[in-house]
Structure 1
């Protein structure tokens, strides 16, 4: 488990490391940080991550010409075959997935206009990196739609559509990211925001029917509800035992307080920042409404991941409110991160993703 804690001081060293003026500090930090995260992910054994043996087994099946039952993910199947051209060892797909995820997330954070140190800390601290060691295929899709969103903000439709279609071809759940389109196109007002939140509440009341419709469209995800055909699978009735609800309530409280302060002191929020706030709000409200549904929790990864961008934005805005400026806002961010870090420790101890203990394939 030590390696998961060493990540934080190591990326901090990368951030404070003195470099020459002619070197792009942002590029230097993001490159080194994600190079290290890539190394940790690449050299992990097949036992690190509950879904890793499944991915490796499907990889072997695909290369041998057997049916994998993943006909709705043609891009991932094609990608797997390309990896197979390099190596047919089961571990090859785990190595390839790790590289792709870290490269795509590095590109996303680099081009997001927030403090890259905060964003990278939160990517690890809010447990997204740990989740990616388990749900690798979905995290490739998530990283793709995040980069697609950046193109959508600039109305570069060809790039957005291409990346989104690739993401859907990697993991079918990426189709939910199409909600990014109205989020970006709508001109948000207080009235529209209230209607939007009300719609989420209605969804909560109808969630069993919504789950039923989703499973009819994507039947292979029914095991998250019934557990049929899978041993030890976390179903709607067993996951988390409600503990995640407290975490979501904490994040929602911080979200509401920061948004309230920014509105009270009339701090300027750009149009793009508003879209990001809406994306993250979806994860909080839906996360609370569906706190005990593992299927929904996995789907809202496409929105909860925006926390790594939302909170650095809020830190920057709060610095304009307090008399101490950056000093006070940094203190608040550190306080927030310490609470997140406690949750990080608890989740590692619970080991739902089976990423503990960390082992390497190097003999």
Structure 2
């Protein structure tokens, strides 16, 4: 509630004095990002990976378990300085929160909408469970920005290499470094979006699962290392998952088709979120898709504010803000009252304040 109410004072379209913001959006962003960092950094026993990696950290088993040379190097440095595991957790949380904060600072039209989206999409809470992967995808995002947006090719490439050293799933994102060579035309975009819509809602999951696993034999390729579970094994989607896909589809279609019609450049983040629809439409819904989507769904913190700002009417903009806030507020409360299931912390975050 505080996040929402204070956020209104950064938005001169809602609350203003002489058509000026009462609170600077960037100050708001950094204050609340710090608050989210403190919660993530000081959590104890919260998250499916917390206890697992605590034993690995104190037992120095990163090499034995082949967790990646980058992850092992960070652990060795922390152990060398005799730092407790909690500092290691805080460091990984810092990488994720700092990356997200920078991304919102540079590319979001409405900072408070982006932060609410971060909470409502599970991204923040999921980072408690798979913190090694979220550290990795944070570095991937920074690498892409440096490599493709800032033209700092060497720094971007080295950062991406380090992300692979932390979590090998980063290898799947190598093609993204060539994404700017693809020009999105009107016909291509409309075709992709409607084919994705058809595939997502019409083609049954068991057919996708049969093609992906039995015909292509991808089960063995994506086999989970520790629990011997199959990441590519498909499962049925719930109604909430389908509704959010449609919600994202509508917002993305509006933003990108407007850019094409006005001959504005379809940028890196537009293209990245477009891949979200391709992955979720053609791959069987599985742990594999969920893990890949962790990265692409981060683009929602850019896309939803962009969707709102693309409308000219202040009334429509404010109505959309209220809609987004309501949807993600309800979803966030739902998350805080759930435990486990690989989606949210085993203990609700609220327990930390009792």
TM-score range, shorter chain: 0.7 to 0.9
Question: Which residue does 2:301 correspond to in 1?
Answer: 308
Tell me how far apart the structure 2 counterparts of residues 32 and 306 of structure 1 sit (CA, whole Å). Answer: 22
CA distance in 1, matches of 2:169, 2:241: 22
1:282 aligns with 2:282: no
- What is residue 145 of structure 1 aligned with on the other side? 140
Paired residue for 2:348, among 341, 357, 362? Answer: 357
**Alignment TM-score, normalising by the size of structure 2:** 0.79
Q: In the alignment, which residue of structure 2 is the partner of 1:3?
A: none
More off after superposition, 202-211 vs 138-147: 202-211
TM-aligned CA deviation for residue 24 of structure 1: 10
SS at match of 2:237: helix
Pick from 114, 122, 129 the counterpart of residue 127 of structure 1.
122
Deviations 1:201-255 (A, max 9, x none): 69946322598547537762673428xxxxxxxx947x7x632xx3342233234
Query: Quick check: 1:43–1:361 contact (8 Å CA) kept in 2?
Result: no
Q: State the partner residue of 1:223.
A: 228
User: Counterparts of 2:215 and 2:113 in 1: how far apart (Å)?
Assistant: 35
> Cα distance, 1:155 vs. partner?
3.2
Structural RMSD (CA): 3.8
Match of 1:168 in 2: 164
Find the residue that maps to 2:337 and give its secondary structure.
helix
| Structure-2 residue corresponding to 1:34 | 33
Q: State the distance in 1 between where 2:212 and 2:90 align.
A: 37
For 1:124-179, what per-residue CA distance to the aligned partner results, in whole angstroms no more than 9, with x for missing partners? 12111111111111111111112222221343322321221111111111122223
Change (3 A) 1:199 1:360: closer
State the aligned residue count.
334
2:176 to 167, 170, 180: 180
Cα distance in 1 between the residues matched to 2:215 and 2:34? 40
Give the equivalent residue in structure 1 for 2:244.
251
Aligned equivalent of 2:56: 58
Q: CA deviation at 1:184?
A: 1.9
The 1:13/1:333 distance shift into structure 2, 3 A limit, reads closer
The aligned residue for residue 265 of structure 2 is: 271
Q: In structure 2, list runs of 5 or more residues that go unmatched.
A: none
CA 1:259 to 1:135, structure 2 compared with 1: closer, same or farther past 3 Å?
closer
Q: Name whichever of 8-17 and 337-346 sits farther off.
A: 8-17
In structure 2, relative to structure 1, the CA distance for the partners of 1:79 and 1:259 (3 Å cut) is: closer
Q: Which runs of 5+ in 1 are unaligned?
A: 1-5, 227-234
Counterparts of 1:286-301 in structure 2, within 5 Å, are 286-290=279-283, 292-301=285-294
Distance of 2:143 and 2:194 partners within structure 1: 25
- Cα distance between partner residues in 2 of 1:162 and 1:299: 21
CA distance, structure 1, for counterparts of residue 90 and residue 260 of structure 2: 47
**Contact 1:49–1:134 (8 Å) recurs in 2:** yes
- Aligned position for 2:79: 84
What residue is the counterpart of 2:89 in the other structure? 94
> How far does residue 306 in structure 1 lie from its aligned partner after superposition?
0.7
Q: CA deviation at 1:40?
A: 0.9
What CA distance in whole angstroms lies between the structure 2 residues aligned with 1:199 and 1:357?
Answer: 35
Offset at residue 332 of structure 1 (A): 1.2
Greater Cα offset, 131-140 or 278-287: 278-287
Q: Structure 1 residues 140 and 251, CA, compared in 2 at 3 Å: closer, same or farther? A: same
